[in-house]
Chain A
Amino acid sequence: MSDSSDQSPSKVRGFTWTVGDHALLSDSDAWGEALVEAGRADPRIVTVTADLGETTRLQAFKRAFAERAINVGIAEQNLVAVAAGLAATGLIPVVCTYATFAVLRAAEFVRTDLGYGQRNVKLIGTLAGVAYGQGGPSHHAAEDLALLRAIPGLVILAPSDGYEMAAALRAAVAHEGPVYLRWGRGTERADPARRDRPFVIGPIEERHPGADVTVLAYGPTVQEAERAARRALSAGVSTRVLAVPTLAPLDRATILRAARETRRLITVEDHSIIGGLGSAVAETVARAGIAVRIAALGHRERFLPMGVPEDLMAIGGFDEDAIYEEILRICRVDPPAPDDDWEDR
């Protein structure tokens, strides 16, 4: 057996990463390590998974605390019910499976047992949006927030990179009550400068200053928006980028301030534009009676095909290029003339 086969990402990490992702995975391991640290500090923390411990970063915890790591088998309704029961005994279950199964398959259990029951469970939905694009629509999760936002008392967090995910997990564990953490593929490039930032549940974070238009994003689209904002600056448009790592409770004050100050809002998300951030922002400004132009980028009333996530974000129209084009469109700015004198350089 060759060394290369032993070192293949699929063998080491599970089957949901491609070779090209391998170099980025160390950042995404941050939350698995944070979970182990949290488990060491607090014996109440237990993990529960439905056969996806290997691909969802729970393995390190299991190695450290075998009797506090529970696998219920491929049974998501029971996954959530068992977590509710564990929480009823005073433990803090950290539950992890793919977002589409955690939320859609087990929806009524999440609503009734975690939401209505207000159980102190931390539900992590991984591979949200098209993060597992190759799996196709059965494995895409573009509806989880539409469902969960309607559940009273459920905190919804959507970190944008591995470090923020680790910090969000610490904040979720410290919070008393049910929390949903929406997580992607784990290959989002993390900025080392942001490694030790504490995560505070609630506030929106300004990632890029701007006065002409505001882009609101969460998860993997935050970095797409930041890049688009930098490009737009050279086209003469000043773009504010707001990261919304807490979808519930929503920081409405910051959204309304952006609406008043920039009068143009673009939401961008790897989720349906129905029920996600696009809806949340539109509801917020409409109820406040502020006249703004709004554009919503995200999954637009169709199922995206199978494909690698970067392609699907382009096909779906919520990648950097799409955001950049929307910034110019909403500000009625013509794109800069194409740089066609490259042959002369």
Chain B
Amino acid sequence: MRRYTVDAMVAALSSSEHRRLLAVSLRARERVVRAVFRSGSGHVGAALSQCDALVALYERHLRLDPARLDDPARDRFVLSKGHGGLGLAAVLVERGILTQGQLDSFGESASPIGMHMDHRKVAGIEAATGSLGHGLGIAVGMALGARVQRWSSRVYCLLSDGECYEGSTWEAALCASASKLRSLCAIVDRNRLTMDGWTEREVPLEPLADKWKSFGWRVLACDGHDFAALDECFARAKDDGPAVIIAETVKGKGVSFMENKPEWHYGAIDSAKLDEALASLRAQHDAETRALDARERGAS
């Protein structure tokens, strides 16, 4: 499998900050698997693949005050892959925008915290999504709205790679570059799996970076689970858009028995599986921390 790398890597992320992000990410993933266990089902695979990109964005780059979520000049994030709602909710709890109590109601009938979330019911959600291919156009509208009103807001939009099959995604991509939306940054969660299997075996999307480039976008690409690389991409995307970060990810990342398994796009876990999942998350986190230790020892 082809892997994208960030050229001219700059270690902007301090060691302590990197470790903090790893810890936030671990807690967010634990919240996801616990919610799936409690509610009986959820889009667990998608939540885990997007997790690190969202942690990097919410913890490091999105200018947002949880106490003033209606500040018109805030940065905005649109979850175009609406089925990542649970994964987003977990990151919002970490950021202090939602409470764990709210997340505990995930999946209950008539709870505002569900599979696909609605801006009218959940403060901190910018658009009701769920149907694929809507979010990028909405984000384009938000970026245009910020420009008309002379705000310095930036707009971020997370797409699944499956959304790159939707024609409306490319309608929006064309419009964004034509409008020279420098404040717009899209992230593609490139986990290479859709419901029916591998994208490249079903209907190939590659060369995906070339497609975005030909639509007039600045293309950045990285390992979507590498915080140093994600941070670098977000920093470089700022005010030089429209830019897209193609984040190469692993569906189900962090839970070894879910990784790269299409059947874990959406699933249920029993208590034995929950224990196994939590142990796996902890083990992966510890391994990543040890790898960071080793890199730093090697560098010093």
Contact = CB atoms under 8 A, between A and B. Distances in A.
* A and B associate: yes
Interface in A56-87: 67-68, 70, 72-73, 75, 77-78, 80-87
Contacts of A118: 120
B119 A117 contact: yes
B154 interface: no
Contacts of A93: 141
B148 interface: yes
B149 A89 contact: yes
B140 A73 contact: no
A82 B78 CA distance: 13
A75 B120 CA distance: 27
Interface in B99-138: 118-120, 126-128, 130-131, 133-134, 136-138
Contact of A88 (B118, B127, B172, B178): B127
B57 interface: no
Interface in B137-154: 137-146, 148-149, 151
A109 interface: yes
A46 B142 CA distance: 13
Nearest to A68: B148
A91 interface: yes
Contacts of A78: 137, 140, 168, 171-172, 175
Contact of B140 (A67, A81, A91): A81
B267 interface: no
A73 B144 contact: no
B167 interface: yes
A90 interface: yes
A82 B141 contact: yes
Interface string A97-108: 000000000001
A81 B149 contact: no
Contact of A86 (B133, B141, B175): B141
A177 to B, nearest CB: 12
- DSSP majority for the A interface? helix
- DSSP majority for the B interface? helix
Contact of B137 (A68, A82, A89, A116): A82
Contacts of A90: 72, 145, 149
A143 interface: no
Contacts of A116: 118, 128
A88 B137 contact: no
Given A88-B127, A90-B149, A117-B128, A81 B142 contact: no
B174 interface: yes
A100 B248 CA distance: 40
B145 A85 contact: yes
A88 B126 contact: yes
A84 B141 contact: yes
Nearest to B178: A73
Given A68-B148, A73-B174, A91-B145, A85 B128 contact: no
Given A77-B167, A116-B118, A85 B175 contact: no
A26 interface: no
B174 A83 contact: no
Given A46-B148, A67-B148, A75 B175 contact: yes
A279 interface: no
Contacts of A82: 137-138, 140-141, 144, 172, 175
B73 to A, nearest CB: 10
Given A85-B137, A117-B119, A91 B175 contact: no
A90 B148 CA distance: 11
B138 A89 contact: no
A113 B145 contact: no
A269 to B, nearest CB: 30
A75 B176 CA distance: 13
A18 interface: no
Contact of A91 (B148, B167, B179): B148
Given A72-B175, A113-B134, A116-B128, A88 B120 contact: no
A112 interface: yes
A77 B126 CA distance: 19
List the 9 closest pairs (A to B, CB-CB), nearest first: A85-B141, A81-B137, A89-B145, A78-B171, A75-B171, A82-B141, A77-B168, A85-B138, A85-B142
Interface of B: 72, 76, 78, 118-120, 126-128, 130-131, 133-134, 136-146, 148-149, 151, 167-168, 171-172, 174-175, 178-179
Given A87-B141, A88-B119, A113-B138, 13 more contacts: A72-B171, A75-B168, A75-B175, A77-B167, A78-B171, A82-B172, A84-B137, A84-B141, A85-B144, A85-B145, A88-B126, A91-B145, A117-B120
24 contacts: A46-B145, A73-B171, A73-B178, A77-B168, A77-B171, A78-B172, A78-B175, A81-B136, A81-B138, A81-B172, A82-B137, A82-B140, A82-B141, A84-B141, A85-B78, A85-B137, A89-B142, A90-B149, A91-B148, A91-B149, A112-B128, A113-B127, A113-B138, A117-B118
